[in-house]
């Protein structure tokens, strides 16, 4: 893994130097390379050029990056390697309401550390948003990494001017700008499909929130890291599923819908509190409408931008 990382960094540095000398790299790239994302340093990045190189590679060749991660790197990481990775690349599960609040907010949120109660990781947990936010839909690299994947594929939602500008300049065929109304429509459509909303933070992306993932257990690398490799890369929404046992018919429809394996059937559905991350996938898919999300302080604080300054 160390040798592979050196190759990636060397290749990225070569691209950066070539662009700085010959000015062949787009303006958004140069801004990112000089500051790890265009907004100065964050936790762990320090605004370094190496962080900018990493961000460039990730944003420019996202499909290839995730393909290597899913097929080559994740299966080979030991616990120490998994911990190093999730400290720098992790997510906060969002309810539909919380995800909609991010794309609909209309005021500036200055950079702030979300803290252990919201994002329990030491690195890459800043949020900074300008209202009205720049939003783009981007091809889901996790889905592209799978031989058989879910549809549609243009469901990753990039948030923030520097990130959106970069993708529109470098990957215009797989990126489209969204209005706030279009972003809400995308979120609701994915919710109806039973998919998980999550806010992603990456050390290389200026150490802050940069995307809302709308994905599924069969495709998402973050969910796979948790369910297949035991690496908790995704923090709970702060909610947990609660079942109305009297209304439950025991049909079992909810069990395969839970991306984290938190549901089982014993006459009626049972919720595994420890495994439930409060995503709401079961709630949206229950034909009897007997599941709801309820706030649980033991699951940590929700990421609700309406409560941020």
* pLDDT tier for residue 293 given thresholds of 50, 70 and 90: very high
- Residue 21's pLDDT is what? 40
Q: Is residue 157 within 8 Å of 137, Cβ to Cβ?
A: yes
| Number of separate domains in the chain | 2
- Residue 285's pLDDT is what? 87
Tokens of 182: 């279009």
Question: Do residues 31 and 152 share a domain?
Answer: yes
* pLDDT tier for residue 44 given thresholds of 50, 70 and 90: very low
Question: Do residues 287 and 139 share a domain?
Answer: no
- Residue 62's pLDDT is what? 87
Given 197, 212, 235, which residue is the final one in a domain?
235
73 is a domain residue: yes
For residue 221, give Cα distances in angstroms to 68, 69, 299. 11, 8, 22
Greater model confidence, 6 or 97:
97
* pLDDT tier for residue 67 given thresholds of 50, 70 and 90: confident
Per DSSP, the three-state class of 64 is helix
For residue 279, give Cα distances in angstroms to 10, 75, 198, 275. 39, 25, 8, 11
Question: Do residues 94 and 202 share a domain?
Answer: yes
246 is a domain residue: yes
| Average pLDDT value for residue range 167-196 | 94
**Phi-psi label, residue 284: left if phi above 0, alpha if psi -120 to 50, beta otherwise:** alpha
Helix H or strand E segment including 66: helix 62-68
Question: Do residues 252 and 205 share a domain?
Answer: no
Q: Is residue 236 within 8 Å of 299, Cβ to Cβ?
A: yes
Q: What is the pLDDT of residues 71-128, one digit of tens each?
A: 889 899 999 999 999 999 999 999 999 999 999 999 999 888 999 999 999 999 999 9
Question: Do residues 91 and 223 share a domain?
Answer: yes
Tokens of 286: 């229950």
**Residue 36: pLDDT over 70:** no
* pLDDT tier for residue 58 given thresholds of 50, 70 and 90: confident
Question: Which residue in 238, 237, 240, 271 sits closest to 254, CA to CA?
Answer: 271
130 contacts: CB under 8 Å, gap ≥ 6: 108, 109, 160, 161
Given 235, 253, 268, which residue is the final one in a domain?
235
Weakest mean pLDDT among 25-39, 198-212, 294-308: 25-39
Question: Do residues 276 and 214 share a domain?
Answer: no
Greater model confidence, 190 or 69:
190
| Average pLDDT value for residue range 51-59 | 78
Domain that holds residue 131: 2-235
Residue with tokens 């995308």: 186
Q: What is the pLDDT of residues 221-262, one digit of tens each?
A: 999 999 999 999 999 999 999 999 999 999 999 999 999 999
Q: What is the pLDDT of residues 126-136, one digit of tens each?
A: 999 888 899 99
Question: Which residue in 137, 144, 112 sits closest to 125, CA to CA?
Answer: 112
> Which of 20-24, 130-134, 197-201, 202-206 has the largest mean confidence?
197-201
Given 189, 213, 235, which residue is the final one in a domain?
235
Cis ω for the linkage preceding 132 (within 30 of 0) = yes
295 is a domain residue: yes
244 is a domain residue: yes
26 is a domain residue: yes
Question: Which residue in 286, 290, 258, 285 sits closest to 274, CA to CA?
Answer: 258
Question: Do residues 177 and 285 share a domain?
Answer: no
């Amino acid at each position: 893994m160390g040798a592979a990382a050196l190759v990636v960094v060397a290749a990225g540095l070569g691209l950066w130097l070539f662009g700085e000398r010959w000015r062949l790299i787009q303006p958004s790239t140069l801004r990112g390379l000089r500051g790890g994302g265009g907004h100065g340093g964050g936790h762990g990045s320090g605004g370094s050029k190496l962080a900018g190189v990493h961000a460039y590679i990730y944003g420019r060749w996202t499909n290839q990056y995730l393909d290597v991660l899913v097929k080559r790197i994740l299966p080979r990481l030991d616990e120490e390697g998994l911990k190093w990775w999730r400290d720098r690349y992790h997510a906060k599960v969002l309810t539909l309401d919380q995800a909609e609040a991010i794309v609909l907010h209309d005021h500036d949120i200055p950079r702030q550390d979300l803290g252990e109660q919201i994002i329990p990781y030491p690195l890459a947990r800043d949020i900074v948003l300008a209202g009205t936010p720049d939003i783009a839909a981007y091809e889901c690299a996790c889905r592209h990494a799978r031989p058989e994947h879910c549809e549609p594929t243009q469901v990753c939602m990039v948030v923030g001017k520097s990130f959106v500008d970069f993708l529109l300049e470098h990957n215009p065929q797989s990126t489209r700008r969204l209005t706030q109304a279009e972003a809400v429509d995308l979120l609701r459509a994915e919710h109806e499909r039973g998919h998980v909303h999550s806010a992603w933070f990456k050390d290389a992306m200026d150490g802050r929130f940069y995307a809302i993932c709308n994905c599924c257990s069969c495709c998402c690398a973050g969910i796979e890291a948790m369910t297949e490799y035991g690496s908790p890369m995704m923090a709970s929404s702060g909610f947990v599923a609660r079942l109305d046992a009297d209304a439950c018919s025991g049909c079992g429809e909810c069990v395969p819908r839970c991306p984290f394996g938190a549901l089982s059937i014993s006459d009626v559905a049972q919720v595994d509190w420890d495994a439930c991350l409060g995503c709401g996938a079961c709630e949206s898919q229950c034909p009897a409408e007997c599941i709801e999300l309820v706030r649980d302080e033991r699951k940590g604080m929700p990421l609700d931008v309406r409560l941020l300054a």
